[in-house]
Each structure stands twice: as structure tokens, then as C-alpha cells.
A and B are shown apart, each in its own frame.
Chain A
Amino acid sequence: MTEPVRNVRFSQAIGEAIAGEMEADDRVLLLGEDVGRSGGVFGVTRGLQERFGEQRVRDTPISEMAFTGMGVGLAMAGYRPIVEIMFVDFVGVCLEQVMNAMSKIPYMSGGNTRVPMVLRTAGGCIGSAAQHSQCLWGTFAHLPGMIVVCPSSPYDYKGLMAAAIQSDDPVIYIENKRQLNKMSNTHPVDAVVPEGRYTVPFGKAKVVRQGSDLTLVTISASVGDALRAARLLEPEGVSIEVIDLRTLVPLDTETVAASVAKTGRLLVVDEDFHSFGMSGEVVARVVEALGPQALRQVARHAMPDIPLPAARTLEEAAVPSEASIIEAVRKMK
């Protein structure tokens, strides 16, 4: 008899990483709205308050500026806080502490002050329109000083969270709302989440599908969409190599460039806004690394530069999906 494969929700994979690190290091603590008694709006932190107590798993008022700044202070005082901003959109009210304190203090202090803090938040589209569906990873990556993690597979959700908590640098860890309630076995690759503690290193992109005609670079939930699209396009005779960046900062240019050197064609798919973001950056890095002549064709498929509309018909026309990725690839042929 073979062991049945463990099938957990994405949310649980993150919760396991947090629990494991809290168990191993009592300086790790958690602050945020609804993280305690209810276990989080996506159930990520379920059971943690019972297990580690109210001091270490603290339900906060809706005072993001205060508790994000508290995270900075706690980190400076020797703790390893995990601060949850429920949806990434809400970072607007406390961006000050993120962009001027958390991410700048390590450098401004000449390295004498470390800020080992994790800002956990959920991005991506769940149909709740302009103020509740953004990704914003490109925004954080643009601001210097923080590691930007956007996991895609259940294995990485856990391993990258553990790495984030262990990191001595400030980390923003952006989950995707589209995935959190899903079961791990719905993801096409790396769907098994080991029970024990492990980490996944930052700055190592993963080739999640081998191919020879086109390099498709993406991140977060779009990795799953891209893999499904690539499979469906196979019968049309296109062989797509899919790369999951895993972290935007640091960005693994080497892995992407090596692939493009082979395929000569690059498509970047991004659920974040089109302009001044990840897709432009990836293209620029590849051009810098290989020279413009290495690229026969380049395209970007990203969220258009508009606030996400509420209506489903408009949303479907805006947000990159398996179907729209297929279209984007077909346009390149």
C-alpha cells in the first residue's frame, strides 16, 4: 500500500510554515486583523492563537499604520514579526511604514540595524473590483530594500514563507487570493507539501516546464494558468518553456536569459499592471543580458492600466487567464 498523497489547501501550507517557525523560534510573532480568533479571512492562521497564545498571535484593530510600524519596532527590538495586511490594496494606508521604514532602515543604518520582518498580504483578483483585486508586486519591487516573494506552487507557498520568516532582510510575501482556498492537488506542479520544516531559497527561478519555441515568464497564480495553457497549445505545435520567477526581488535574470538564449522568443505574463512593472523589467534584463539580437520576438500580456472593473464581462476581458494566455501565444506565431 502506498501512502495517500497529502492534499492540503494553499492557505494551510502557509499556516504550517508559520506554525513551524513559531515553534522553532519564540521571537516569531504575528499581528493583523482577524488573524487570531477567526484564524484569518482565508483560514491561513487557523489554530495558531490557541497554540501560541494571544501575545504572539494578536488580533489588531483596523490600524494598519500602527501595527505595521509596530512590526518595524518589534524587528528592531529583536523580534521576528509577521505583519498581515489582509489585502495588498490596503497597504495604501500604511505604505509609509513599508517604504520609508521597513525597507530603508537596513541600508540607512549602514547595516547596523536589521529589520527581520515579514509583511504577509494577499493580492490577485477575486471579483471585488478596483480596490480589492490588485497585485502591486511591481510597486514593491520598484521600491528598493525589500525581498518580494510571490509564490505559485503549494510547495513554494510553504517553503518560501519559512524562508521569509528566517530571513534577516525585510520581506513582502504576496499570496494570491485566487489560490488560497484551493486544494494543493489543483496545481499542475510541485503540489505536494511536505509536513516537516523546509525552505525554498530566494532569487532562484524555476523552469516548471521545458520547451524549445518560446519562453513564458510569469509569477504567482499565473504560473498555473500558463502551464495549463502550454499543455493545451502543445497540439498546435508550439513547445513552451514556462519559468516561475518565485521572487521579483531578487530577480533571477540568469535562468530567464538562459532560456531565451535557447528559444529566442519571450512572453511575459503578469497579473499586475502592464506599465512600469514586472513585464517591462524582465524584458529589459533579458535584452541587457543577451543583447537585442538574441530576441526574435517579445510580448507582454498583463493587467491593462485601468482600475479593475466590477462587471464580470469586463473583468474577464482584463485579467490574464488560461484562455487569454493562449490568445497571447497565438498572436506571437
Chain B
Amino acid sequence: MTANKHALIDHFRMMLDMRHFEEACLEGVPTREIHGELHTGIGQEAVAAGLAPWLRREDALVSTHRNHLHALAKGVDREKLLAEIFERENGLCGGRGGHMHPFDPATRFSATGIVGSSIPVALGFAYGFKMEGVSDVAVAVIGDGATNTGAFHECLNMAAAWNLPLLVIVENNSYAISVRFSDVSATPTIAERAAAYRAWGRCVDGTDVEEVWKACGEAFDHVRGGGGPALLEASCFRFQGHYEGDHDTYRSRAERKRIRAEHDPLTLTEQRLLDAGAATQEELKRMREASRSETAALLATVRAAPMPDASGLHRYSFVGV
């Protein structure tokens, strides 16, 4: 495992930046700078961070309501992303899309607030890549809840039937708002459904960034190599409520406490770095502080930016408007 000391430190830094980015978003809620629902990926950083190194700029990624970390993994500009989430005119989409609907053609990143609806859009990118004969991959990141939509099944079938370069990554945090995956699903795992479509499928511990990195590597090899669709299920834990303001009464206080204490991907990675002698407590502390202060500076910049002016209400509604 020591071969990857450097990679692990990079992963750790990325996860730190992700965590701090999400914490910066939390600050916008009480101030109503983010005045609608906010869903964060706090606790789920290892999935996006393990995926990130495999993503090329030409690959497409379509995400969900809980999309910030996937955007960062895809290389979306942090400032423009945070500005969009904070509803600013200089955001990725001029403050029109907001936190659930960021679109960045430069990195081929997009998202949707409708559960399950990211997969068909990724399928479209995959179809295009196949027609063009390129080795780019279309990635759909979804939650466990989305695997019970019709779109999930329809898309895996089509992708397999036509051998399309589609990679579906499921962040299985066991819950769709209050509904437990196990209460409403026929199969104990999601990955095992891949067999029904003759697709590649496997499970991975989504709190272990190295394991995610390795599993993503296998999945990308398969899809980029022309093997057809892949389904990677990463088990993980959502630390916050479903959205900020969710009373989260469906999980006991003890369960929520245990999740934070035992399944924090940052703590797990820190421990691994220490055990391997790859970093000292002091170095880790400095990394944390550096990341925190960079994010604080970013947040201050975003907060200084103007809100969209009401005169621009109809702008962008059609080409040329």
C-alpha cells in the first residue's frame, strides 16, 4: 500500500477541499444567500475523490441534486460553482440554475434535480461517443434511490444492447430521504443487477478513497476499452439531513453520531497516512488549515459578487434573447 503514499495525500487534500467547499455552502443557508433546498455531500467525499483522477476533460458527467462534489471531481471552476450555488450573476449559469442545476459545457458537467433523470442524459453522451468512435466515457452519478426509477433500467438495457460507454456510479448511502433502500428494493445490492444486463458490476466501500480509486480504475478500463456499460456501487454515509432543514427523524441520534464517528472518509484517510508514516499530525493539521483558509477566501470573493439584476429576468430564454 505504501506505493501510493503520494496519491493518498493528493486524495486527502482533495477530500479536504471538498469538505470545506460543502461547509462553505452551509454558511449560505442561515443568511438566505442559498434560499432554496441545499443538499450536501458531506461524508461522501471519498467517492468523488476516488473517481476524480480517472476523469478526462472530454468525458461527460451528469449528476444529481447532490452534485457539488462531482462537479469538483470533474474540474468545474470552484469559484464559478460556488457563485452559482450562492445565486450570483458571475456563477456558472448566471444564478439562473442554482445549486441543483449547474451546467458547465467546458468540462462536460451537468446535473438535474429530478431523481433518475441524469442517467438518460449520460446515455445520450455515451451514444455520441460511440458514434464518434472516441474512447470518452459518459458517467452518470446517482443515489441508491435513483436505481428504482424506470430510467435506471431502461438506460442500462439500452447501453448494454448497443455496447455504449456508460458508467453508472451509485452513491449508496442507504437512504432516499427517509426511505431505506432495503425496505423498497428487491436485491440486497445494486451492483448485482448489472448481471441482468450483462454489464460489468461491482460493489466498493465508498468511504475508502483508495478502494474507490482502484474500483473506478477497473470500471474505466472496462468502459473505455469498449466493454460496454459498467455499474459501480459505492456504499457511503450521508452526514447531514437529506437537505439543510431536514429534521432527519428517520435516523436515531445514536445512528447519526455513530456514522460521523466511524465512517468519516477524512478521518479514515488521515489515520492511514499516519499509520503508513506518510504524514505527521503536524503536517495534516497544516493541510487542513491551508484548505480551510483557501475556502474561506473563496467564499469571501463569492459573497462580494453581485446578485443578478431583475432586468435580466428573461435573458437566456431563447437563442439571442
Do A and B actually bind? yes
CB neighbours of A59 from chain B (8 A): 178-179, 183-184
Quick one: closest B residue to A46, CB to CB?
B249
CB neighbours of B87 from chain A (8 A): 310-313
Chain B residues bordering chain A, tally (CB within 8 A): 44
B150 near A65 (CB under 8 angstroms)?
yes
B177 near A34 (CB under 8 angstroms)?
yes
A264 within 8 A of B: no
- Overall SS of chain B's interface: loop
The interface-forming segment of A103-111, A125-133, A183-191 is A125-133
B32 near A312 (CB under 8 angstroms)?
yes
B149 near A63 (CB under 8 angstroms)?
yes
The interface-forming segment of B41-49, B259-267, B309-317 is B309-317
Quick one: closest B residue to A66, CB to CB?
B150
Chain A residues bordering chain B, tally (CB within 8 A): 38
CB neighbours of B36 from chain A (8 A): 126-129, 132, 310
Q: Find A37's partner among B32, B89, B250, B308 (CB 8 Å cutoff).
A: B250
CB neighbours of A306 from chain B (8 A): 313-314, 317
Query: Nearest-CB distance from B36 to chain A (Å)?
Result: 3
CB neighbours of A318 from chain B (8 A): 313
The interface-forming segment of B110-118, B211-219, B287-295 is B110-118
A61 near B176 (CB under 8 angstroms)?
yes
CB neighbours of B97 from chain A (8 A): 129-130, 310
A131 near B313 (CB under 8 angstroms)?
no
Quick one: closest A residue to B181, CB to CB?
A61
A37 to B149, CA, bound (A): 21
CB neighbours of B115 from chain A (8 A): 62, 90
Q: Find B101's partner among A33, A131, A304 (CB 8 Å cutoff).
A: A131
A128 and B98 in contact (CB under 8 A), knowing A311-B87, A312-B32, A312-B87?
yes
- Overall SS of chain A's interface: loop
A317 within 8 A of B: yes
A313 near B310 (CB under 8 angstroms)?
yes
CB neighbours of B117 from chain A (8 A): 93
A309 to B313, CA, bound (A): 8
B308 near A311 (CB under 8 angstroms)?
yes
Query: Nearest-CB distance from A155 to chain B (Å)?
Result: 27
Interface string of B172-216 (1 = CB under 8 A from A): 000011110001110000000000000000000000000000000
A310 to B97, CA, bound (A): 5
Could you write out 6 A-B pairs with CB less than 8 Å apart? A41-B177, A128-B37, A129-B36, A131-B112, A311-B95, A312-B32
B35 within 8 A of A: yes
CB neighbours of A64 from chain B (8 A): 149
A126 to B99, CA, bound (A): 14
B184 near A61 (CB under 8 angstroms)?
yes
A73 to B131, CA, bound (A): 42
Quick one: closest A residue to B32, CB to CB?
A312
Quick one: closest B residue to A318, CB to CB?
B313
A30 to B279, CA, bound (A): 55
Query: Nearest-CB distance from B312 to chain A (Å)?
Result: 7
B163 within 8 A of A: no
Q: Find B98's partner among A89, A126, A129 (CB 8 Å cutoff).
A: A129
